[in-house]
């Protein structure tokens, strides 16, 4: 089995000085000129093109500049799939400013290799401020789903604090409370200083050239309309400017499968009638695909 890490964050174009990482939010100081220059240098480094290209299967909002997201929340089922030879498998929620050219973005979910291959991830990214003592960014997940039997899920929320402008990560823990895990100062995201323009939910995989079999996505299987054999992101909601949740409108959701014959996606929209408590949900996985008609 590949080593599975949950609570994975990808902070693209996100960095501040290491000395600010563990200070409480109220104590974050103004940056000196020297710190400003160091921040600019680190941002240039992180703005380089990614080293690897992921294949995506999931849902996305349109890249049309017409949407303003102040956060999003979902529940993702957690699987520990086997990866080999530097493969990577991810299930996540992504918020970003754009997908064309340089952009800012936050991504949260789980991965089966700890993102050893590319980017800046987990609490190791300069600038992330860990707050919770009960949930730590990047810790190995203790509980994972058992295929076709028991499903283990995590509910998490990425949202912008309208007062400070910082982007917060919160997660529901065992007793049902919403635990603030940590935050990223607003200075890290100049293109998301007011809001995010796009949101995506689903799976991503990477396999080096000539490596087979293909990296498993989600549970490694896709069975249509089946929540114990297929990974899902359910109870999808967005956050509006005043902090209220609202459901996605089907007309604003696009289904994307980069390699549909290998990795499949099924968007059920509001599945409450057939699947109580799932609400707006998307299923994704592969390369083992079984389509039910």
pLDDT beyond 90 at 113: no
Q: How confident is the model at residue 28 (pLDDT cuts 50, 70, 90)?
A: very low
At 125 the pLDDT is 65
Question: Which comes out higher in pLDDT, residue 175 or 167?
Answer: 167
Q: How confident is the model at residue 200 (pLDDT cuts 50, 70, 90)?
A: very high
pLDDT beyond 90 at 7: no
Report which of 241, 177, 6, 214 is spatially closest to residue 107, judged by C-alpha positions. Answer: 6
Residue given tokens 């992921």 in the structure block: 54
At 111 the pLDDT is 80
What contacts 24+ positions apart, CB below 8 Å, involve 155-158? 155/73, 155/74, 155/75, 155/235, 156/73, 156/74, 156/76, 156/93, 156/108, 157/71, 157/72, 157/73, 157/239, 158/71, 158/72, 158/73, 158/93, 158/95, 158/106, 158/108
- Domain locations in the chain? 5-290
The pairing of beta strand 288-290 with beta strand 129-130: unpaired
Task: List, for residues 217-244, the tens digit of each pLDDT value.
Answer: 999 999 999 999 999 999 999 999 999 9
Least confident range of 122-131, 184-193, 200-209: 122-131
At 153 the pLDDT is 93
Span 269-276, average pLDDT: 93
The H-assigned helical ranges of 47-89 are: none
């Amino acid at each position: 089995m590949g080593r599975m890490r949950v609570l994975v964050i990808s902070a693209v174009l996100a960095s501040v000085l290491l000395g600010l990482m563990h200070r409480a939010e109220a104590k974050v100081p103004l940056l000196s000129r020297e710190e400003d220059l160091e921040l600019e240098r680190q941002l240039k480094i992180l703005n380089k093109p990614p080293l690897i290209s992921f294949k995506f299967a999931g849902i996305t909002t349109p890249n049309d500049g017409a949407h303003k997201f102040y956060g999003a929340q979902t529940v993702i089922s957690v699987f520990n799939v086997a990866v080999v030879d530097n493969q990577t498998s991810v299930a996540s929620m992504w918020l970003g400013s754009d997908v064309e050219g340089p952009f800012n973005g936050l991504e949260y979910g789980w991965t089966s290799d700890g993102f050893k291959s590319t980017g800046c991830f987990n609490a190791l990214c300069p600038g992330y401020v860990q707050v919770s003592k009960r949930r730590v960014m990047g810790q190995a997940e203790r509980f994972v789903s058992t295929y076709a039997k028991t499903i283990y899920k995590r509910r998490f929320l990425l949202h912008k604090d309208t007062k400070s402008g910082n982007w917060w990560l919160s997660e529901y823990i065992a007793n049902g409370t919403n635990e603030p895990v940590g935050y990223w100062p607003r200075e890290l995201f100049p293109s998301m200083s007011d809001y995010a323009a796009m949101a995506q939910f689903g799976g991503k995989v990477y396999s080096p050239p000539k490596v087979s079999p293909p990296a498993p996505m989600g549970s490694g299987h896709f069975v249509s309309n089946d929540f114990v054999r297929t990974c899902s992101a359910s109870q999808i909601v967005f956050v509006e400017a005043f902090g209220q949740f609202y459901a996605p409108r089907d007309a604003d959701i696009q289904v994307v499968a980069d390699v549909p014959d290998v990795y499949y996606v099924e968007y059920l929209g509001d599945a409450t009638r057939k699947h109580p408590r799932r609400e707006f949900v998307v299923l994704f996985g592969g390369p083992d695909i079984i389509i039910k008609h």
